[in-house]
Structure 1
Amino acid sequence: MLRHVVLFTWSPDTDADTRAATIAALRKLPEEVGGMTSFAVGPDAGLVDGNAHAALVAEFADADAFHRYATDPRHLEVIAEHVKPNLASRSAVQYEV
């Protein structure tokens, strides 16, 4: 099993509606792309200053399933349309569980 964790920090000019629309688009990936055994995405709870603004955690049966997801055209479209235009920084890791 492979876990994929991504932290997103939005640019300062990204408004609340755009942030919410981005999270909503990311939440549709399990239906539109599939391939994951579990999936969660959401905004930071705001409990600690300096945190990233949102996190995504997805699990895949293996590296091949992850690569299919990562290169899927719909996944790439969501990234291009919703994430990249609003992104100040992104950090990710994939690890075996």
Structure 2
Amino acid sequence: MPVEAKIQSCPGFHELEGTIFPGATSDVSENGIRLCINQLLPANTFLEMEVKLGERKYLLSGRVMWSQLIDNTTAHIGIMFTSENESQMWSWKNQLSRVFNSEK
């Protein structure tokens, strides 16, 4: 799934704050996603993400829990959702359930 992420806060690397970058998900769940992007991000970086799932786009917030360099141009970033917008999270979880149940 395509993702556009914006760095909200990045401890120790404040110059990255406000940076917007494209990525893609390689793993999704109700409570987080794994992003494939082109750079490592430190733990505790906060992101705002626009995630496309099916025909809908979701604006979700999350915190980097881990980051792993895969090769010279790819990093995997583990994000735990921190969205306080309950209706957006409910909608995300509901749509995620529909998508995965339709694949069975």
Judge same fold: TM > 0.5, yes or no.
Answer: no
Instruction: Calculate the TM-score normalised by the size of structure 1.
Output: 0.29
Bigger relative CO (Cα 8 Å, ≥ 6 apart): 1
**Bigger helix share:** 1
Instruction: Calculate the TM-score normalised by the size of structure 2.
Output: 0.28
**Bigger strand share:** 2
